[in-house]
Amino acid sequence: MSAADVPYAGTALGIAAAVRSGTRSAVDVVEEHLTAIAARDGEIHAFNLVTADQARRAALALDRRVAAGEDPGPLAGVPVALKDNMCTSGVPTTCSSRILEGWRPPYDATVVEKLAAAGAVVVGKTNLDEFAMGSSTENSAFGPTRNPHDASRVPGGSSGGSAAAVAAGFAPLALGSDTGGSIRQPAALCGVVGMKPTYGAVSRYGLVAFASSLDQIGPFARSVADAAALYEAIAGHDPRDTTSIPEPVAPVSAGLADGVAGLRVGLVTELCEAEGIEADVTARLREAADALEHAGAKVDEVSVPAAVYGLSAYYLIAPAEASSNLARYDGVRYGLRVDAPTTGEMYDRTRTEGFGAEVKRRIMLGTYALSAGYYDAFYGKALRVRTLILRDFEAAYAGFDVLLSPTAPSTAFALGAKTADPLTMYLNDVCTIPSNLAGHPAMSVPFGGGDDGLPVGVQVMAPALAEPLMFRVAAAVEAAAPAAPAPA
Ligand code: GLN
């Protein structure tokens, strides 16, 4: 299949404009995407579940509203793929874990309600690393997702299904969740745009918790403008999420064409030189920085010394929170239950059979880090590193408007290449984790290809709530990017 055959390479904004004006029917749009999914998802496995009938019904209802003179919203008729860790009322939500098999949430996540209110059409639930723990989608209990650019490679993770769905033309938009890089890293490996909002900008109500102080939902799209539209549709205060920011969201689409003249852009030295960053990735980053300079930005190197400790701090904080969040899967309240003579044995067997190896590893790491006697040495210390990272970012942002780094150390790697060694897998997130620890927004924009012809992503980071500025810079990076390698 060549790029020209990607079934519906149209933009989300283009689809919405056509559906709103009645020149295209939402039913046709959905049907085209369902056809694309049917043709190739057997190979890619982006979806755990395709909600075809529900999507068709939603599209029909939208077309009726348009015919009746109504405007169904800014994303009218646009197919969206949802990571399978976001609750959908009555529709299985598995987190790609056996332990949730068969569970149907009794409610919709806030983002799902917001998508419907914007006129978007959910076409299915996408594959992920179990409970969003991983960087390749190989930790899914239902088998891996493959990269549409090269099916022998991983799509990244943990939101690999969502990234692959957008790259393969199964949906112009998708939602993922990002705890340590799970939107940005797969976006980079699949050659699409992926964005993690400021912590609290998008409601986490109905997002199955992994590490609550880090988790954020965000958009995938094939362009910065489409990602901006999706971000605007899902952001905003939600009284059902106590960590939701109680202020109106600053619009990001309006300023996309404002350019970067006069902006100060910092290349983060430590993240450009971090362990395992490949030369072709750094080369693309430098080209992106040169392009911004050419467009009138002032580019310089900047040091964020504590950023390199982010990975170590994250692998204490995230497992600690996960060990607590995942205590609820006890065979009583959700999904799987393996019966046994006593309640204790029932818990034991349910969790033994229901969780995969990586989830068990994190629960053990986190329980250990939180245990009496080790709490201060591990968890407490990690929290102090988190504060240092925040301070170092603050110092850097005193001199710079936005920061740049690679998104991921390499292009997409082969399936199986890192599964035997969790540490090399963890290293994938060295550049993305610092923004999660700081609660800052960050996004990955495709910028040409690596030596192997696979996509490379450039990461744009910004201070809390500076999404408008970040999107502006992302649009400038996109405008300067060499032609993206096309999916195979
Ligand atoms: N890859 C990281 C991890 O395994 C990040 C995951 C995420 O952002 N959900 O924890």
| Residue 404 DSSP SS3 | strand
What does pLDDT average to over the chain? 96
- Distance, CA 98 to ligand 1 centroid (Å)? 19
Name the DSSP class of 434.
H
Q: Give 166's DSSP letter.
A: H
pLDDT of 470 reads: 98
The catalytically annotated residue of 135, 136, 182, 435 is 182
Whether 8 shows a pLDDT value over 50: the answer reads no
- For residues 390 and 434, what is the distance between their CA atoms, to the nearest angstrom? 8
| Distance of alpha carbon 186 from alpha carbon 412, whole angstroms | 9
What residue type is assigned to position 53 of the chain?
Answer: D
Q: What is the pLDDT of residue 101?
A: 87
Residue 158 is among the residues annotated as catalytic for this protein: yes
Report how far apart, in Å, the C-alpha atoms of 375 and of each of 16, 180, 381 are: 51, 22, 8
Q: Given ligand 1 and candidates 127, 179, 425, which is best to mutate, with the most ligand atoms within 8 Å of its CB?
A: 179
Task: Please state the rounded mean pLDDT for residues 394-401.
Answer: 98
Which of 244 and 484 is assigned the larger pLDDT? 244
pLDDT of residue 78: 98
Mean pLDDT over 403-415 rounds to 98
83 is catalytic: yes
436 within ligand 1 shell (Cβ under 6 A): no
CA 315 to ligand 1 center in whole angstroms:
9
Pocket test for ligand 1, best of 133, 137, 162 (most atoms within 8 A of CB): 133
Which stretch of 54-58, 144-148, 309-313, 419-423 has the lowest confidence by average pLDDT?
A: 419-423
Residue 212 CA, ligand 1 centroid: distance in Å: 12
pLDDT value at position 9?
Answer: 53
**Is there an atom of ligand 1 within 6 Å of 306 CB?**
no
- Span 275-296, pLDDT tens digits: 899 999 999 999 999 999 999 9
Q: Indicate whether residue 429 lines ligand 1 (CB < 6 A).
A: yes
Distances (CA, A) of 134 to 203, 343, 392, 438: 22, 31, 27, 20
What percentage of the chain reaches a pLDDT higher than 70?
Answer: 98
pLDDT digits 0-9 by tens, 90-122: 999 999 999 998 899 999 999 999 999 999 999
Who contacts 80 (Cβ-Cβ below 8 Å, separation ≥6)? 115, 120, 121, 122, 123, 171, 173, 174, 175, 230
Q: What is the mean pLDDT of residues 408-424?
A: 95
> Ligand 1 in contact with 132 (CB < 6 A)?
yes
Closest atom of ligand 1 to CA, residue 428: 1
pLDDT of residue 275: 83
Q: Which residues contact 166 (CB under 8 A, 6 or more apart)?
A: 81, 172, 173, 174, 190, 192, 220, 221, 222
Q: Is the CB of 25 under 6 A from ligand 1?
A: no
Q: Is the CB of 318 under 6 A from ligand 1?
A: yes
- Angle of CA points 211, 50, 31, to nearest 5°: 135
Ligand 1: atom nearest CA of 178 is 8
Ligand 1 binding pocket includes 134 (Cβ within 6 Å): yes
pLDDT in tens, 347-390: 999 999 999 999 999 999 999 999 999 999 999 999 999 999 99
pLDDT digits (tens, 9 = 90+) for 220-257: 999 999 999 999 999 999 999 999 999 999 999 999 99
Instruction: Indicate if the pLDDT at residue 6 is higher than 50.
Output: no
Q: Give the number of the atom of ligand 1 that is nearest the alpha carbon of residue 425.
A: 1
172 lines ligand 1 (CB under 6 A): no
Q: Which atom of ligand 1 is nearest to the CA of 436?
A: 8
CA distance 176 to 227: 12
Please state whether the predicted TM-score (pTM) of the whole model is above 0.85: yes
Residue 339 pLDDT greater than 90, yes or no: yes
Band of residue 399 on the pLDDT scale cut at 50, 70, 90: very high
Does residue 135 have its Cβ closer than 6 Å to ligand 1? yes
Active site residue 125: no
Average pLDDT of span 82-90: 98
Active-site residue among 25, 83, 114, 196? Answer: 83
The CB of 158 under 6 Å from ligand 1? The reply is yes
160-203 pLDDT, tens digit per residue, is 999 999 999 999 999 999 999 999 999 999 999 999 999 999 99
